[in-house]
Amino acid sequence: MPTITRFAPSPSGSLHLGGARTALFNYLYAKSNDGSFYLRIEDSDKERSSKESIDSIINGLRWLGIDFSEPVTFQSNNYKRHVEIANQLLSKNLAYKCFHDQNYVKNNRSLKTKFQSKWRDIPADKYPKDQAFSVRLKSPINGICKIKDKIQGIVEVKYEEIDDYILLRSDGSPTFLLSSAVDDYDMKVTDIIRGDDHLTNSFRQKVIFDFLEYKPNFAHISLIHNENNQKLSKRDNAPSILEYKKKGYLSKAINNYLMRLGWSFGEKEIFTIEEIKKKFSLENIGKSPSKHDKKKLDFLNNYYLKITDNKTLFNLIREVYDFESLDQKFKEKNIHLINLFKDRANNLYDIFNNISNFNISPRKLNIEENELVLPLKDNKDLILNHFNYIDKWSQESIEKQIKETISELGVGFKNFAQPIRCLILGQVNGPSISDLIFIVGKQNFIKMIKSL
């Protein structure tokens, strides 16, 4: 039987790190077994679903390169099928009609025991007529519900702890537990891989699966925790996947980071999706929660920035930050600048920000900056004398003049370099000043010194 996995998000919010990792693990497991990976949007709850969320999920997955088999399944389109299965369970006495109203259920529910419906064993011919009802699953009372989990190992719960949950509400609409189970069954999903916060749902849905004689494999991934070792949530202000794109992270870096959140392959840290497809296995996913580490993400993003060619980075920056400073006519200069800034950058925005700050004309200085560049002001004739007569404007000739100027001024390199960076970038730290002066160009640099 071919391997089939799925990612089934609810479209009530954007795609975040946790969901993206679940999608990635499903995708990698399917591809490592020459199988298929599907996207199912669980949009049955129309009040909480939105087109914006659906677009965020689909565009986020596509940006990450997590390719799903078309077409996308929308759960709401399967409404009739979900109701059909509920009625089949009713006809086989594997479900029953419950005529209790919500107030009765609320008042008779105990925190320690599952709700017991008085209608569970009442024959159908004793049902009241013209009265609203829900349909509940008739969960087994005795025995053990056991799941052989590919990550967590053998997990089990007593059937007496699994409630007779609602399959169809009193308005006839199917619940998530029913719809999700039926969709997995109809899609022939072989491996249900999801967060371990769904483990309780898996036990409850397994009752339906057993009734349907459907036996998928299970794998429950431990959740991602924040730095305080608590479940990563919206309260942590974790950006969505597309917000990471806007912040200047590369999709390869995000993928690599997500792969290593819980999955390991020896001491190796750097992986591409193509490499992982050959090595991925669920057995290499740890049981313990993974901790979100922004420093690790920034490290990986810096690594991929450094190995990505400058023209590609130029196009990526223009795609995300479409400003005049990245105009096509300045492409060559900007590519030089990208090469200069990318080694120190955590993200594309760092590079873009430095390019935006790069000056080829005199900068208006504040009080602190004026004080910093004072040594240049006091010695600008000497500096002009050294740089004005460079015949061949090259990094080598500039470096030579920098050394001679510093020697003649009798100052340390830092005392010359920081004011120059301040003039060009508005900051004292950064790349080589010979590179900066070279890109500024002779005429602009001379004009800059003269303006002091």
Q: What is the pLDDT of residue 111?
A: 62
- pLDDT surpasses 90 at 119: yes
Name the domain boundary from 168, 194, 209.
Answer: 168
**Is 199 within a domain?**
no
Task: Give the residue numbers spanning the domain of 93.
Answer: 81-168
pTM of structure: 0.90
Interval 356-372 mean pLDDT: 85
**Is 394 within a domain?**
yes
Stretch (H or E) spanning 419: helix 413-425
> Nearest to residue 134, comparing CAs of 167, 162, 104?
167
Listed range (248-252, 324-328, 385-389, 443-447) with the worst mean pLDDT:
324-328
Q: Which residue's structure tokens are 């483990």?
A: 199
3-state secondary structure of 298: helix
Name the domain boundary from 139, 168, 197.
Answer: 168
What's the CA gap between 397 and 168, in Å, rounded?
A: 80
> Nearest to residue 229, comparing CAs of 174, 287, 288?
288
* DSSP classification of residue 285: B
Are 5 and 28 contacting, i.e. CB atoms less than 8 angstroms apart? no
Which CATH number covers residue 159? 3.90.800.10
**Is 254 within a domain?**
no
Backbone angles phi, psi at 148, to 5 degrees: -95, 100
**Is 402 within a domain?**
yes
Reported as a pLDDT band with limits 50, 70 and 90, residue 122 is: very high
Name the domain boundary from 129, 148, 168.
Answer: 168
Are 282 and 33 contacting, i.e. CB atoms less than 8 angstroms apart? no
Strands, E, within 271-369: which ranges? 290-291
The dihedral sign for the CA sequence 133, 135, 141, 144: negative
**26-74: per-residue pLDDT in tens?**
999 999 999 999 999 999 888 888 999 999 999 999 999 999 999 999 9
Q: What is the pLDDT of residue 47?
A: 83
Percentage of residues in the chain having pLDDT higher than 90? 73
**Is 315 within a domain?**
yes
Q: What is the pLDDT of residue 329?
A: 60
- pLDDT surpasses 70 at 234: no
What's the CA gap between 244 and 297, in Å, rounded?
A: 11
**Is 21 within a domain?**
no
Burial bucket for residue 416 (CB in 10 Å: 0-12, 13-18, 19+)? buried
Q: Which residue's structure tokens are 């730095």?
A: 227
**Is 221 within a domain?**
no
**Is 429 within a domain?**
yes
**182-216: per-residue pLDDT in tens?**
999 999 999 999 999 999 999 999 999 998 999 99
Q: How many domains, the chain?
A: 2
What's the CA gap between 81 and 84, in Å, rounded?
A: 5
Reported as a pLDDT band with limits 50, 70 and 90, residue 326 is: low
